[in-house]
Structure 1
Amino acid sequence: MGASLKDVAALAGVSVKTVSNVVSGNTYVAPPTREKVELALAELNYRPNLSARNLRQGRTGVIALALPELDAPYFAELTRFVIDAATEQGWTTIIEQTDGRPEREREVLQGIREQRIDGLIFSPITVGADELADRTDTTALVLLGERVIDGPTHHVAIDNQRAAREVTEHLISLGHTRIAAIGRQTNPSANTAHLRLAGYKEALTAAGLPYDEALAPPTNSYHRSDGAEIMASLLATNPPPQAVFCFNDLLALGAHRTTLAQGLRIPQDIAIAGFDDIEDGRYSTPTLTTVAPDKAQIARAAVQMLDQQIHGRRGTRRYDLREVTAAHRLLVRESTTSSRTSE
């Protein structure tokens, strides 16, 4: 068994309470005394019993992260940042995949299979403000993404509409006037897709270019195969588009493959831009122009908001609901211009 607080106290010649104060860091301890305790902690290789501490505080030390698709690169990369941020707070993170199915998302919202967790970070696709209002589970909750805007909970997202406008404006600045979009969805709950479409339309309107629905065919899902299939149909139009804005990088990589397979050059014959800045796009040939959400900031903000709720539940204070808009930037790479202007 590892060393106990009593063992450390005996070696340092202080009380158990003093050792506890040094370990917790919540109470002032005179520097000479603190130094003696810290030397004893190091000599005995003391490790705090986090499970016992959490139980005393009425917590488990575990949070959950619920996402639609774990094999989607964006969510995989985001998961790593959430785990890192949670670990810094002393939490273990469990992962749930919902597949974007309404019944699974409602199940997650009402409690993760009756597992006892301290908080939930949730990226929903189907649940909305009504489901949140009807929620009976009192576990601390932070939402990611745009499914619920101005809903009754903490929320972290980027400005998807602004980001989509910026990438479309970039394509327009290169002289393209016939710009297609891959990612439009007809599902009313697909808020992220609707916001990105709105940003695309805004840029066209501001440049005096018409919105042609034929250049923005509906997309069932956001996988490589969808991008490849829709790009083939767009290239068959007369005239074909000069540039394509894809609503995520997987769609863009699929479109990229179809374009090259038809003997066309990127960006000389057609420019392609994506969204999400996944690692695959940095190593494609040519490299992929994309919008890069600050995934680390999204993760840190979500964990911080969860931390405030979890600790707030032990007192009488009421934490105000918060909306955090994380940063993003446009990364111009070889798929839109052979001369990169930003990274």
Structure 2
Amino acid sequence: MHLWWVIGGAPRFFSGRESYFPGGWVPVALGALAAAGCLAAGRVVTRTGHYVLAGVTAVAGAALCVYSFLFPVMVVSLLFEGPGGGMVASLLATGAGAVGGVFCLLVAAGERRLAVQPCESCGRVHGRSPESRAETAPRWAFAGAYVAVAGYAARMSVWLADTVTGRWPGAGSEASLGALVVFVVLMSVAGTVLPLALAHRWGRIWPAWVVPWRGRDVPRWLVLGTGLFMGGSLTAYFGIAGMTAWIRGDFGGAFVPLLLEMGGYTLWGVGLLVAATSYYAMTRPPCPLARLGSQPGLRRGQERA
């Protein structure tokens, strides 16, 4: 699509843009790099080749996702505002970039697995990967979780200051105030309980005080899916779009409140993504070889370690 638009001229986009990043040949080059990486997948035989291909494809996939970060905004605009001029072209461009980027990341993950030679039954590198939900999360997962909490606290400090000075949004309407309270409660859960659940054991196994389910596994995607969605949305909307618009001078205001707000949202999103990465690894199903007592993968991993 972008190659066609470079040759014949770009169409009209919703809100006048498909991305905050330069168009033209930039998305064409990203698409070509992504296509080359995906077409080469499975055709290299050395570990070094798998690592190189994984790195190239991961860079291309991440770049496509970043370039197409307005896709969720387009979808929300379509749902709440209805179709507008340039909406089809914007959805095609951003949607194709986001989906293509995700597929590239999956290909990169597959090439990395081939490079590290994981256990054929569970995909772990035994001796280096967590074996069960009951293990302690790595330190970087706790760091990500508490960075997310700190980002939430920074954002809410601005809101608290507005409340104290009488600038609470929506205070003039009882209905809007009620909706705002519900929103703030959900926001607070997403800024405190969610990141901590991604790192702490009680987010993977129900604690004793949750009597009906104590000791059982927490549904994986209840926590992981929410963490990935919130983390990706905050990072894309505020960390990329918001920061870019602020730097470009598209909006202004007092420096410190804007820094706390935009920086807080960004840290919140990035921290959630970091903690979610650990949660994904720690909540994989147990290795069937370990349960059967036959662990060649474990021995291989321990020897490498």
TM-score (norm 1): 0.24
Structure of greater Rg: 1
Write 1 or 2 for the structure with the bigger share of helix: 2
Query: Using CA pairs below 8 Å that are at least 6 residues apart, which structure has the higher relative contact order?
Result: 2
Write 1 or 2 for the structure with the bigger share of strand: 1
TM-score (norm 2): 0.26
